[in-house]
Amino acid sequence: MNATVLITGAGSGIGLAVARRVVARGARAILWDISGAALTAAQAELGAAVETSVVDVSDAAAIAGAPLDGVTHLVNNAGILGQRMEWGALDAEHLQGIFDVNVVGLMMVTQAFLKARVSHPQSGIVNLSSIAGENGGAPGFAAYGASKAAIMALTRAMARDFAPDLRVNALAPGIIDTPIQDAVMTAPDARAQAAEGIPLGRLGAADEVAGTAEWLLFDAPYVTGETIRVAGGRR
């Protein structure tokens, strides 16, 4: 397959799961993450089909300096949850940091992708939002929820602006059992309690989200501007 997929936040969790599927499909992957150690492990696992760069998506200079040769598809996965903050103790600098990664970073990575992109008949972008963008997120994480809602709006705008040459869709995962949940689920039984509120009765797996991302990237030629929940029925 003559495709090269840029995946941000690709060192672990959903990003790494997408990378595995991209490589298994016969495509090439460019992996960006802030963790050099995670990227080294991903490279060792996935081999010559991937190339890696340590990139903080909130750093415009780092984005501009990273190689993007032959890129045809994009998965905007990099994101941060941020710290739990009550309304009486909001910290403007921390709030800005969440939006710098989750929203501004997504836009700047997309800009770099558009400049470097080469033509491909199935070219597409998948943005990682969250059901927190619809329900506001867990108590104390309003900024995260707001940033994910912004991604849903951006997805619709991007789909309009980039049509007809480039499809843009988003995924809204529910509670997926990845390291990002550790900041929220601190109690020993937190995962079991969370599963009780999910119609399918369990947390999702990163590969289940990655499978939907793969479909949107390569097998959904008449789908654009959509946000698809991957949440086990939870809203």
Which H or E run contains 110? helix 105-116
Q: Which residue of the set 99, 113, 144, 162 is catalytic?
A: 144
pLDDT over 80 at 136, yes or no? yes
Instruction: Give the model's pLDDT for residue 1.
Output: 63
Considering the chain, what is the average pLDDT of its residues?
95
Span 219-233, average pLDDT: 96
Does 129 or 186 have the greater pLDDT score?
A: 129
* pLDDT the model gives residue 108: 98
235 pLDDT above the threshold of 90: no
The CATH architecture annotation of domain 4-175+206-230 reads 3-Layer(aba) Sandwich (3.40)
Q: What was the pLDDT predicted at 187? A: 78
Averaged pLDDT, 157-162? 98
Strands 4-8 and 28-33 come out as: parallel
Residue 6: C-alpha distances to residues 70, 85, 191, 197, 235 (Å) = 10, 32, 31, 34, 29
Spans of all domains in the chain? 4-175+206-230
Structure tokens at 124: 């597409």
Quick: pLDDT tens for 28-59: 999 999 999 999 999 999 999 999 999 999 99
| One-character DSSP codes across 41-108 | HHHHHHGGGEEEEE--TT-HHHHHHS--TT--EEEE----------GGG--HHHHHHHHIIIIIHHHH
Is residue 23 pLDDT above 90, yes or no? yes
Question: Does 103 score more than 90 pLDDT?
Answer: yes
| 144 part of the active site | yes
